[in-house]
Amino acid sequence: MHELGITRNIVAIACDSARGAPVRRIRVEIGKLSAIMAESVRFCFDICTEGTLADGAELEIVEIPGRGRCRACNQELDMDLPYGCCSCGSTQIEIIQGQELTIKELEIDTLCA
């Protein structure tokens, strides 16, 4: 399960970005064609945040749908798999959306001095 390593990296990046402040929420975007299972990331999240600045943080996952563009006719199409066939019959599909993994937002507690 590579999602464990991915989740560890998400938590590490969030904690580094927080610069010592407690992390309350992490919002990530995961593309449907990324080969990353959102449910597995959710499952690993509490384990990976334990004892970190993100311990107890909320994980919000936004799943980005797959989109492709046919290289033969330039038509755009929805994709559930990283391959497919256009209505023109071509299998030359370029993926234009759905492979991303992005930390979009980080909510932290501000520290007052």
Q: What is the pLDDT of residues 68-106, one digit of tens each?
A: 999 999 999 999 999 999 999 999 999 999 999 999 999
Report the alpha-carbon distance of residue 96 to residue 76 in Å, rounded.
9
What is the value of pTM for the model shown? Answer: 0.85
Has residue 113 been placed in a domain?
no
Burial 63-78 (b: 16+ CB within 10 A, else e): ebebbbbbeeeeeeee
pLDDT tens, position by position, 1-49 = 589 999 999 999 999 999 999 999 999 999 999 999 999 999 999 999 9
Residue 100 forms part of a structural domain: yes
The Cα 95–Cα 25 span in angstroms is 30
Structural domain span for residue 53:
3-108
Task: Determine phi and psi for 7, rounding to 5 degrees.
Answer: -65, -40
Domain CATH code at residue 37: 3.30.2320.80
pLDDT at residue 111 greater than cutoff 90: no
Distance CA 54, CA 69 (A): 39
